[in-house]
Structure 1
Amino acid sequence: MGVYLMNIDRRAILAMGLGMLLPVPAFASPAAEMEALLSESPWVGDGEPSRRHVYVVFAPWCPVCKQLFQRTRSTRGGVQLRWIAGGNRDEHAINQNLTVVSNRSLEALARVFRQEPVGDLTKDGPAVLRLTQSEMAIKQMAKRINFVGYPTLIFADGQGELKSIAGVPADLDAVFAQVGAWGKTE
């Protein structure tokens, strides 16, 4: 994290600091609170926009995340995946995640999972801010669920209860069948 934060100017740091001072509204349920937190993260949409969606917190270096990505290339019963970049353990991973949050495209995410070369984006201020936003959301999310590693799938079930699953479920179809509607489609 320190590798690229040094490249943010003072105005950006001040803006982030002021954003953290704003009051946090009360929500009706843990699922609504999680939806508000994750929907504002720079996620990459995978599938048609839908109120039935699953947030997937991933790390670019994680082979299990890559496996999940590969297994979810087929239909998902109307469920959209929303990939959120995490796992910034070294400069290469940071640049991979910067590529994802900079482009916010499924193709950029696929290139990262294929381990294609990425450029140095540590001086791209908007991308750095988006990645910082993603990191802050992951830290907040980790406090609310039993976050044990990458990938983690987060969704509301049919009753509006917050669910999280770490790893790649054996039966993805059964998991996608449980997914209920969140508040926002985009």
Structure 2
Amino acid sequence: MMLPLPGLAVDRGRQVVVTKPDDAAGLMDAVENAIWAADGKPASKAVYVVYSTDCAWSKRLFDETRALAGNVQLRWIPVAGTTAASVVAGRDSASVGNAFAGRVSRAVDAKAQRGVAYNQGVMDSITYQLRPYDRSKTFAFPTLVYRSGKSVKVVAGNPRNLATLAAEVASEPRAASLVPAGIALTAQAPTLLRSRNLPKWAHLNDTPMIFRAVPSPQAPPIDDLAKDFLVPVSGIVGTTGWIEVAPWGLDKRKAYVHDPLMARMALLDYRVRPQGGQWQAPAVVQVREFPDSDAHVLETLKPGERYRRSGVVEHGGHVWDQIVLYADGAVGYVRR
């Protein structure tokens, strides 16, 4: 399973030009909808800067780009640093400058912290989307992303010639009035319910399942999961069908996957009444992962096959036998 570690992308000094239309659109969608701070007047030319407020190279870029005012608008996307949340809260050039200087002029609340986490997802999304182009596993601060002709250019580190930057950036009329989707997506914390029955989530289909930065199809994709791999579940997002997972282990950041069936299975309210004895298949029988007719089928048994019964469940108007299906003690459910 390939999962992005914090801070991975192209090496400092590398430049990647993405020419495939779908790939270019995906990268621009991620940065345009990040929670960025506008630096300069609204313009049809925009350069997105992924950076840390503690990074000296990023501060140098800020200082050196003061002469670009009016030609291009820089849009700073803070993903790390002790004052990153203050930039998310302020979203203007003064906030960017104050953060580099260690001055926090705006109150930092939980919403701003969620915004920084969302922006970290944007950084992960850049890494994920650039895998076909670059796997150097180093994310340079700052990293610039912008349209250049019909392509999208990713520049890792400070550009060598800032005087030519504005000329390279393609004009995009809608850029001047763009409102990032990330603002609305992080306005409220997701309402999490305890997962009763699903300590880990597995992808069971052949097509990889996409992880996203927040529980919304509008959120940037940050990774995918191949079939049969397991990741810990940390909660279920209400009745939306989204599952919160913790794919990075000790890292506290979360990811979200949309799996309505397993989200519903995670919240099933049932009790197993212990009952021993031997169980025998009366006919061809499907053994399900949970005591629900919609649950995934674990095995299809032939008539006469025998297993140890471990309990009985009454759920959904039906009685289910819980049987020990595998040698490691894993159980399944058969409806009577």
**Could you say whether these structures have the same fold, taking a TM-score greater than 0.5 normalized by the shorter chain as the test?**
yes
Equivalent residue letter for 2:116? L
Which structure features the higher share of helix residues? 1
Structure 1 position 162 matched with structure 2 position 162 = no
Match for residue 58 of structure 1?
A: 51
Q: Name the CA distance, whole Å, in 1 between partners of 2:41 and 2:104.
A: 28
**Which consecutive unaligned segments of at least 5 residues does structure 2 have?**
1-19, 179-336
Asked if the contact 1:76–1:176 (Cα under 8 Å) also holds between the matched residues in 2, the reply is: no
Matched residue of 1:45: which SS? Answer: strand
Matched residue of 1:155: which SS? Answer: strand
Q: 1:39 to 1:117 in 2, by over 3 A?
A: closer
| Post-superposition offset of 1:77 | 5.9
Equivalent residue letter for 2:40? G
Match for residue 36 of structure 2?
A: 43
Alignment partner of 1:112 out of 86, 99, 105: 99
- Which has the larger Rg? 2
Structure 1 position 177 matched with structure 2 position 167 = yes
Equivalent residue letter for 1:157? S
Match for residue 24 of structure 1?
A: none
Matched residue of 1:29: which SS? Answer: helix
Identity %: 26
Q: 1:50 to 1:30 in 2, by over 3 A?
A: farther
Match for residue 125 of structure 1?
A: 110
Q: 1:172 to 1:125 in 2, by over 3 A?
A: same
Equivalent residue letter for 1:61? D
- Runs of at least 4 residues off by over 6 Å: none
Matched residue of 1:74: which SS? Answer: helix
Q: 1:46 to 1:63 in 2, by over 3 A?
A: same
Equivalent residue letter for 1:142? T
**Which consecutive unaligned segments of at least 5 residues does structure 1 have?**
1-26
Q: Name the CA distance, whole Å, in 2 between partners of 1:78 and 1:120.
A: 31
Q: 1:51 to 1:117 in 2, by over 3 A?
A: closer
Structure 1 position 30 matched with structure 2 position 17 = no
Matched residue of 2:74: which SS? Answer: strand
Matched residue of 2:145: which SS? Answer: strand
TM-score, structure 1 length as denominator? Answer: 0.72
Asked if the contact 1:54–1:79 (Cα under 8 Å) also holds between the matched residues in 2, the reply is: yes
Asked if the contact 1:53–1:155 (Cα under 8 Å) also holds between the matched residues in 2, the reply is: yes
Equivalent residue letter for 2:59? K
1:89-104 to 2 correspondences below 5 Å: 93=82, 96-104=83-91
| Post-superposition offset of 1:148 | 2.7
TM-score, structure 2 length as denominator? Answer: 0.42
Match for residue 314 of structure 2?
A: none
1:56-95 to 2 correspondences below 5 Å: 56-76=49-69, 78-88=71-81, 93=82
Equivalent residue letter for 2:31? L
Q: Name the CA distance, whole Å, in 2 between partners of 1:175 and 1:142.
A: 23
Q: Name the CA distance, whole Å, in 2 between partners of 1:77 and 1:117.
A: 26
Q: CA RMSD in A?
A: 2.2
| Post-superposition offset of 1:144 | 2.2
